[in-house]
Every structure is written in C-alpha cells, then in structure tokens.
Structure 1
Amino acid sequence: MNDPGRRLPSGSEPVPDPADGPTDGPAGGLTGARSSDRTRAAILRAARAHFARHGYERTTIRAVAADAAIDASMVMRYFGSKENLFDAALTIDLRLPDLAAVARDDLPRVLVRHFLDRWEGDPADDALLLLLRSAVTHERAAERMREIFAEQVAPALGEAVDPRRAGLVSAQLLGLALTRYLLRAPGVTALTPDEVTELYAPALAAVLS
C-alpha cells in the first residue's frame, strides 16, 4: 500500500500496490485471462473424469463443479449446457508427428507407437479414452470420433496414401484401442507396447502397401 506520509515528486502519480487489489490496466486484464484459462481447464479436467467414469447421462453439472472447486453457475457461464460441456471435453488434438518426414516402411510402426503413447501416456490426458468409451453409446461422441480421424489422420498421411486406405488405417487403430482399453481382451492387454508395435505394425503395412 502507498504510504500517505511519503512525499512524491511534483507531477508524479502514486504507483499502484498489488495489495490494493486488481487494476483495470493491461496487467490486470492479462491476470484475468490467465485465471479464466485455469478455470476452464479445471472444468474440462473434472468433466472428462466424470464423463469417463459415469457416462453422459449420469454426469451432472453440480458434480463437475464440485470436483473443479467452483460453483455450478460458473460451469454454465463457461459452457452454457451439459451438451456443450461434453462437446468441449471431446475436443482432441491427436498430436500426430510430421508423417511426411517418415520413411514409408517405417510409417506403420510410427503410427502404432504414437497411438499407444497417446492412449497410455499421461493419465491426466484422458480425453481420447473418454471419446472412445462414449462413442460406443453416444451418437455425438461417435460423430466426433469420425470427425477427428477424418480431419487429422487422413491429412497427416498425405496424398501418397489413398483416402480409402487412410480410412482403413483409422479402423485398425480404433479396433486396437477397443480391444485393448475397453473390452480388455486378455491376449491384447497382456502385450507390452513394444510387443503390440512389433506385432500390429505389419497389419497396417498390409493396408498401406
């Protein structure tokens, strides 16, 4: 806080003290934007966890808000409805590498390993598994899954790969995810990521060749 007894040079203005509260200047706006981003991220993390655990129908705005440590009205302020929140939770970047720089013979192995790393990587990044689980019973999730693979996988494979083959590559990768993470087929879950890559890459190679 500025000391009222301290004399300032003529023409000088008091310097705002952070303890006096937020300001309306650029710094205050930046702080507000960062706080808004953190709140939105916290809501999405909580929503993804609830949708993954309980499904769309059993997930409530109040439960999501409680896990995000905010009031339910804030969830509605950011997303407007549970349907909009669900849609936002399903926004996913597959983070595909630059496949144009990958040798054709290495492409199947790179693809399989990348998706295994995405599915089995950071536990906090569970949006892809949420989408996979939800797509089985929720039409919007199934539609979003189709959009993501059509918009990200096919373009990443480039013009060198026939679009029909790109679609089959997506089908194979989704089939692997379904049996390993949802159905949890023993013969698939028992394999290490290295073993899956070694054994499954030839199947993709057959489609791409």
Structure 2
Amino acid sequence: MRRTASETKAVILAAARDRFAAEGYEKATIRAIAADADIDPSMVMRYFGNKEALFGAAAEFDLELPDLTGVPVDQLGTALAAHFVKRWERDGALLILLRVGVTNEAVAERMRTIFAQQLGPVAAQATGNSPDTAQRAGLVSSQVLGMALCRYVLAFPPLANMTADEVVDWIGPTLQRYLTSPRV
C-alpha cells in the first residue's frame, strides 16, 4: 500500500514519538524508528534530515491552554490543573520532552521556551500583567512539570495511583496561590 508524503511523514512521527518516549533521545535510532514505521531509514532522512530534526518535529507540541477569560479568578488554579492533567494523560509528546529534557540541554531549552511562550500569557491574564508574572508562570510550570515527572515518568505509587480528580484537587490550590496570592 502506497502512502502519500503527508501520510508517510505522519507514520514516521508517530513511530518517533513512541520510540523517543520509550528509549529517550540517546538510545533511539533512525533505523529502529524506520523499522517501527515499516519504511527504509533513508525515507526518515529524506523527510527530516537527521535525528535532531526528527526529534524536534516529534517533540513539537502545543500546551493547548484553554481560554480562561470566562473562568472566575478564584478558580484559575483548578482549571489549569485539570487542563494539564488531561493534557499529560492524552499526549505522549509531552512525556518525550519531559524524559529527554532532564538530560539534554537543547530539549530543556525547548521546554523552557514552550512553557514561557504558551503559559506566560495565561499567567499575565491571571495576574493582570503584574511585574512578577514571569516568576508566577515559572512556579506554575515547576508544579505541573514536577507532578508530571512523578506521576507519569517515575510513577511514584502514591501520585501514580491517584485519580485525575484527586491530583487536580491537590495541585489546583497550589497553582491558584502561585497565580493570584499576594507575595508574603
């Protein structure tokens, strides 16, 4: 069965996401990804050029942050917590970045950029663009990324065994405090 170029690219990206998530950046190979996609390794190189470019495409993601303008200010933390838990559970690309970002500086920088560009405006909206918006967004990121690392990557039993609603109930108030509470 012949695939179109866009179908071939999508199959390669899906295989790359799975392989990077399972093995990390260093251990994943172009040959293994090509085998998973049932294509010749030269096709991976044709579409992506090299492993770094393939990883960049596989790890491209949108936090898909919701429009929170209609959410009451005192519920922003819970709304964000619920969104992030659903997002982490739905998309392996985020886990790829998290796993690889702790050992690869280029990936870590990519994560910093994504969170700053996408979460920054949400934090600015919540804080009324206060002078400490960047710090507040950074604290929200630390909570969300720490939760994801412990729940989805390290699978700490207490956190990994909690329901999504329980996680939201626990971290929502912390995110709320980071976004709206006055600094002490």
Give me the TM-score of the superposition, normalised by structure 2. 0.88
Tell me, yes or no, if structure 1 residue 127 matches structure 2 residue 93: yes
Contact 1:100/1:157 (8 A) holds in 2: no
Q: For residue 158 of structure 1, what is the aligned residue in structure 2?
A: 124
The answer to whether the 8 Å contact 1:180/1:189 transfers is yes
| Structure 1 residues 99 and 157: alpha-carbon distance in aligned structure 2, compared to 1, 3 A threshold | farther
Identity %: 55
**What one-letter code is carried by the residue in structure 2 that aligns with 1:200?**
I
Q: Cα deviations across residues 2-38 of structure 1 (Å, max 9, x unaligned)?
A: xxxxxxxxxxxxxxxxxxxxxxxxxxxxxxxx92211
Trace 1:66-145 onto structure 2 (pairs within 5 A): 66-121=35-90, 125-145=91-111
Deviation at 1:75, TM superposition (A): 0.6
The structure that is helix-richer by fraction is 2
Aligned equivalent of 1:185: 156
After superposition, the CA RMSD in angstroms is 1.7
Partner of 1:147: 113
- Structure 2: segments with no counterpart, 5+ residues: 128-132
Query: What is the Cα deviation at residue 151 of structure 1?
Result: 0.9
- Residue 132 of structure 1 aligns to which amino acid in structure 2? L
CA distance in 1, matches of 2:25, 2:71: 39
Q: CA separation in 1, counterparts of 2:173 and 2:10?
A: 39
- 1:30 is aligned to none
Greater shift, 146-155 or 184-193, is seen at: 184-193
Contact 2:77 2:177 in 1 (8 A): no
Structure 1 counterpart SS, 2:4:
helix
CA distance in 2, matches of 1:189, 1:56: 24
2:30 & 2:7 partners in 1: Cα distance? 18
Higher gyration radius (CA):
1
What CA distance in whole angstroms lies between the structure 1 residues aligned with 2:105 and 2:134?
24
Query: Please, which runs of 5 or more residues in structure 1 have no aligned partner?
Result: 1-33
Partner SS state of residue 65, structure 1: helix
Deviations 1:139-185 (A, max 9, x none): 11111111110111111333442222111111111111111112222
* Paired residue type of 1:168: L
Aligned to 1:26: none
Could you say what secondary structure the match of 2:69 adopts? helix
Kept in 1: contact 2:120–2:134 (CA 8 A): yes
TM-score, structure 1 as length reference: 0.78
DSSP 3-state at the match of 2:150 = helix
